[in-house]
Amino acid sequence: MIDLNLLQYLETYLTENRKRRFNEVLQQRTKHFTVATEDVYQLHNTSAVIRSCDVFGIQEVNIVEEQNTRRIDREIAMGAQKWVDLNRYCSVKDCIMDLKQKGYQIVATTPHKNDCVLNDFDVTKRSCFFFGRETEGLSDEVLEEADCFLKIPMVGFTESLNISVSAAIILQHVTAKLRLTDINWQLTETEIQEKKLDWIAKTIKSYDDIVERFNKLSE
């Protein structure tokens, strides 16, 4: 439960521009869609996907590190890892189980299944878009558990795109289409308050000291 008095107190340490920016960005954030990367080897690819999620308003990214455990490339993520929530999993099985319990359908992004092209994708369903390894693509486990397959229409000789490029194309399309619907895709008021508090903690210096001072004032 968020202490609203604490939140209001902490906001006094923000500039008006930063406070306004937090509010603007949070109004565009969504958990209706999320993204999962499966054992991506090149860390700049995962970092670029995180950056795209921030740009297009996706609040959560799920990272499966069953074979490859990599740190985030901060230069490529451009600080996006501070604003986007990262959920890490040691196995794709645990990741899929958790996502399905949260009500997401599993969407396998692959050019090899003729199920659904991007323009025809139903954005009203809560979905997690899975992106696989650079060379092998998604594992058989993801393909077997997938509720649908999604592909980007291509008309050239090349049949695939870099995963970070694919993620950017898909997320731009589905989020733009989502915002034209009348479904409730935004964060709840509680989620907004929680995320604002989290962002403030990552933004202002001497956060712990400020909270301690607030607690003493509240006694």
Question: Which H or E run includes 35?
Answer: strand 33-38
C-beta separation of 21 from 48 below 8 A: no
Question: What are the E-state strand segments in 67-187?
Answer: 85-89, 105-109, 116-117, 127-131, 148-151
**In angstroms, rounded to a whole number, what is the distance separating the alpha carbons of residues 165 and 167?**
5
Is 141 domain-assigned?
Answer: yes
How much is the pTM?
0.90
Q: Is the pLDDT of residue 75 over 60?
A: no
Is 209 domain-assigned?
Answer: no
Is 128 domain-assigned?
Answer: yes
Give the model's pLDDT for residue 90: 87
Is 178 domain-assigned?
Answer: yes
| Tokens linked to 106 | 């599993």
Is 210 domain-assigned?
Answer: no
The domain that holds 134 is classified in CATH as 3.40.1280.10
Is 76 domain-assigned?
Answer: yes
Residue position matching structure tokens 């230069």: 75
Q: What is the per-residue pLDDT across 106-125, written as a single tens digit (0 to 9) for each?
A: 999 987 666 789 999 999 99
Is 82 domain-assigned?
Answer: yes
Q: Is the pLDDT of residue 44 over 80?
A: no
Full residue range of the structural domain in which residue 117 is found: 31-194
Average pLDDT along the chain: 88
Is 106 domain-assigned?
Answer: yes
C-beta separation of 103 from 146 below 8 A: no
Q: Is the pLDDT of residue 199 over 90?
A: yes
Structural domain count of the chain = 1
